[in-house]
């Protein structure tokens, strides 16, 4: 940063016409502002050192370089501190309020600090007479103001975010166009006519503001300023005259208007683009929320219809056979079967109610566990005993692949058995006649893994991500082949996670069967 400051100062001093220490072209002000805005106030010593070294080479006494360096540092530090007091100030200058504040505070007001201290100390040291103080002050202020207005935005917008290849090529195109057009205008390639040919630069700056944004605009202004200064100093262009100092003042005033106008326009366009993007995002969010609400409403209606169907079906069977038994309308030899049907349907209804209560306890955080070390194989065999009659009724083969060294887990025995029972029941329910259900148990590192694979109807890829969501079932018809509320796997997932484990499902698709894998943290029991 110090090197950049000193190098820019050397170039500026070569254009010092009113006094050796004062120039109307002073890029270091923009470099200092950008450095403190991006890097923070901690960089102020680098600004001071750069300013001191830059002014040390002039014919003024050394102590004047100290004062001038302090003024240059103070103007940047005050400007940055003032700008930082503004809420949400954006150094990338993408808002009209930020550009306006930058122009007024950094370019117009705070530059008076350096101009006052610098011109004053030169007069106080006898380097310049006090009668020249007004013109010295004005030239100093104009150079610093244009440095802030032209150089700082180019640096700030360039550092706002990383450049993509597309953005780099785009901005290179804008800079090339600015150089070419400014060369034509100020190099007098179309003749020697003076005003108002300089306004040919404005359409390009406006186009950059509308299509390219603040970064493209600031680089167009900087490029145009460099080319315009070059030709004006050489005595060419609309502002050229016999007195280079006067020509530069006219040019810098013109460039100040160009920079301020184009930066404000670019910020206005950027604000509009941002507002339109937010409106689109808001509209998209509303559409998504509406779709989610409609989906939730549909699921609610589907659930209520399913619930009424699932509760009514076993209840009808219970009431029907109870009336037959009550009126002795059923033969004595058929009564045991009727009683068995009543018990089976009552249990089914009881299970539905238990599932609803469990889901309610889980969602409200009222489900309590009583964990203790338990051998997984024991709980798994107990769950298998519970589903074996249903498997035998469908001639389903149960294949057991148990690792005797799988070990134990810390779990609530009742809830762990419920987990296994739910997964095994699901596998049997969705496996056809004479199918196969394979149950695996093994130790994987510090965890115990349980897998249940079946040769059943499988899970479609579209439904697989929702298989553990409550009230979701692959078959949504009310007369579907398999009953249930779609709560079993949802409850299972919650219980597994409450035990610190994970559960996942996989399937090759419809007709390809499915595999459910449960992983639980293992424990080491004392020998």
Backbone angles phi, psi at 436, to 5 degrees: -135, 135
Say what the pLDDT of residue 526 is.
55
Sign of the C-alpha dihedral, residues 84, 86, 89, 95? negative
- Closest alpha carbon to 521 in 498, 504, 505: 498
**Quick one: which H or E segment has residue 204?**
helix 202-207
Predicted local distance difference test score (pLDDT) of residue 422: 87
Residue 90 buriedness (CB in 10 A; 0-12 / 13-18 / 19+)? middle
Distance between CA atoms of residues 85 and 278, nearest Å: 26
Q: Are 195 and 238 within 8 A, CB to CB?
A: yes
Phi and psi angles of residue 182, each rounded to the nearest 5 degrees, phi first: -65, -35
Q: What is the DSSP string of 235-247?
A: T-STT--S-HHHH
Taking the C-alpha atoms of residue 263 and residue 99, their distance in angstroms, rounded to an integer, is 7
Structure tokens at 190: 């179309």
What ranges do the domains of the chain cover? 1-161, 295-364, 372-523
Q: Kindly state the tokens that stand for 283.
A: 């509209």
Q: Do 224 and 201 contact (CB within 8 A), yes or no?
A: yes
d(CA 512, CA 507): 7
Strand-pair category, 502-507 with 514-523 = antiparallel
Question: How far, in Å, CA of 143 to CA of 248, rounded?
Answer: 10
Task: Tell me the C-alpha distance between 427 and 450, whole Å.
Answer: 14
**How far apart are alpha carbons 336 and 378 in whole angstroms?**
33
Per the CB < 8 A criterion, the answer to whether 392 and 491 are in contact is no
pLDDT < 50 regions, the chain: 475-483
Determine the Cα–Cα distance for residues 17 and 9; give it in Å rounded to an integer: 14
3-state secondary structure of 503: strand
Q: Residue 482: its pLDDT value, please?
A: 46
Per-residue model confidence (pLDDT) at position 98: 92
Q: Confirm if 496 and 518 have CB atoms less than 8 A apart.
A: yes
Q: Where are the strands (E) in 344-419, listed by range?
A: 372-375, 397-402, 408-411
Burial class (CB in 10 A: 0-12, 13-18, 19+), 99: buried
Task: Give the residues across from 442 on adjacent strands.
Answer: 449
C-alpha span between 102 and 90 (Å, rounded):
10
CA angle 8, 9, 14 (to 5 degrees): 100
Is 196 strand, coil or helix?
A: coil
* Domain 372-523 CATH assignment equals 3.30.565.10: yes
Amino acid 389: pLDDT: 86
Annotation: CATH topology of 295-364: Helix Hairpins (1.10.287)
């Amino acid at each position: 940063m110090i090197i950049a400051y000193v190098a820019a100062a050397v170039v500026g001093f070569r254009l010092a016409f009113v006094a050796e220490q004062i120039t109307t072209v002073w890029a270091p002000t923009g470099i200092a502002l950008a450095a403190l805005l991006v890097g923070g106030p901690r960089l102020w010593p680098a600004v001071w050192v750069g300013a001191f070294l830059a002014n040390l080479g002039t014919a003024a006494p050394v102590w004047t370089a100290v004062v001038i360096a302090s003024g240059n540092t103070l103007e940047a530090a005050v400007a940055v501190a003032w700008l930082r007091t503004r809420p949400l100030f954006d150094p990338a200058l993408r808002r009209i309020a930020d550009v306006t504040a930058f122009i007024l505070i950094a370019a117009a007001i705070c530059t008076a600090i350096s101009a006052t201290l610098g011109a004053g100390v030169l007069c106080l040291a006898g380097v310049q007479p006090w009668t020249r103080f007004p013109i010295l002050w004005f030239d100093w202020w104009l150079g610093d103001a244009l440095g802030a207005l032209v150089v700082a935005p180019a640096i700030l917008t360039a550092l706002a975010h990383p450049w993509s290849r597309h953005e780099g090529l785009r901005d290179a195109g804008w800079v090339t166009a600015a150089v070419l057009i400014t060369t034509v205008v100020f190099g007098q390639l179309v003749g020697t006519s003076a005003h108002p040919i300089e306004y040919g630069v404005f359409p390009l700056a406006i186009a950059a503001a509308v299509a390219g944004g603040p970064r493209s605009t600031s680089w167009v202004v900087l490029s145009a300023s460099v080319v315009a200064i070059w030709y004006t100093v050489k005595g060419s262009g609309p502002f050229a005259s016999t007195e280079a100092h006067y020509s530069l003042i006219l040019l810098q005033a013109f460039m100040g208007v160009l920079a301020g106008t184009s930066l404000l326009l670019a910020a206005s366009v950027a604000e509009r683009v941002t507002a339109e993007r937010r409106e689109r995002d808001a509209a998209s969010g509303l559409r998504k929320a509406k779709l989610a609400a409609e989906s939730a409403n549909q699921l609610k209606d589907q659930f209520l219809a399913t619930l009424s169907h699932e509760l009514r079906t076993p209840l009808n069977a219970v009431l029907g056979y109870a009336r037959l038994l009550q009126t002795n309308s059923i033969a004595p030899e058929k009564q045991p079967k009727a009683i068995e049907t009543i018990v089976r349907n009552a249990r089914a209804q009881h299970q539905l109610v238990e599932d609803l209560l469990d889901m309610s306890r889980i969602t409200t955080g009222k489900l309590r566990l009583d964990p203790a070390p338990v051998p997984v194989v024991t709980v798994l065999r107990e769950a298998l005993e519970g589903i074996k009659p249903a498997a035998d009724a469908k001639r389903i083969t149960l294949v057991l692949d148990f690792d005797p060294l799988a070990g134990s887990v810390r779990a609530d025995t009742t809830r762990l058995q419920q987990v296994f029972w739910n997964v095994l029941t699901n596998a049997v329910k969705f496996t056809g006649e004479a199918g196969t259900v394979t149950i695996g148990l093994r130790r994987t590192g510090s965890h115990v893994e349980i897998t249940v694979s079946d040769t059943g109807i499988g899970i479609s890829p579209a439904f697989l991500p929702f298989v553990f969501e409550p009230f979701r079932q692959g078959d949504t018809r009310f007369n579907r082949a398999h009953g249930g509320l779609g709560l079993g796997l949802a409850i299972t997932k919650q219980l597994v996670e409450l035990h610190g484990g994970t559960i996942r499902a996989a399937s090759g698709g419809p007709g390809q069967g499915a595999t459910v894998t449960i992983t639980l943290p293992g424990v080491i029991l004392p020998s």
